[in-house]
Amino acid sequence: MSWLLDTDVIRQPAKRHGDARVIGWPEEERDRCYTRAVVIAQLAYWVRTKEGRQRRVLQSWLTRLVNALAGRIHGFNIAVAHVVG
């Protein structure tokens, strides 16, 4: 089984008080976790709302995340909309 992760799940490690259970689970399921391009866009927007050091740290985190998910970020299209729905 594969998992399609949404913004809040993916964002947990980057939050100041992220839920440890939510953070640990995708690590265990790493090779079976996918996300959508729209989620990456939402995360990029969230990072841009920050300033200074926090923004730089989050940008680095987002870059590592995208690299780790290489080949597992789906474009948002009708087929994906049906899966999400």
* Cα Rg of the chain (Å, integer): 13
* 69 in any annotated domain: yes
Q: Residues 3-54: pLDDT tens digits?
A: 999 999 999 999 889 898 888 887 888 889 999 999 999 999 999 999 999 9
Q: Cα(44)–Cα(38) distance, rounded to whole angstroms?
A: 10
Residues of the domain holding 64: 3-80
Task: Tell whether 85 is covered by a domain.
Answer: no
The total of structural domains in the chain comes to: 1
In the chain the beta strands, taken as DSSP E runs, fall at: 3-4, 33-36, 73-74
For residue 71, the tally of other CB atoms under 10 A from its CB is 6
CATH value at residue 41? 3.40.50.1010
Q: Which residues pair with 73 in a beta bridge?
A: 35
* pLDDT reading at 85 higher than 80: no
CA torsion 70-9-76-34 (nearest 10°) is 40
Q: 74 lies in a domain?
A: yes
> What pLDDT, on the 0 to 100 scale, is given for residue 33?
93
**Is 46 part of a structural domain of the chain?**
yes
**Which pLDDT score is estimated for 80?**
65
Asked if the structure places residue 40 within a domain, the reply is yes
pTM metric for this prediction: 0.81
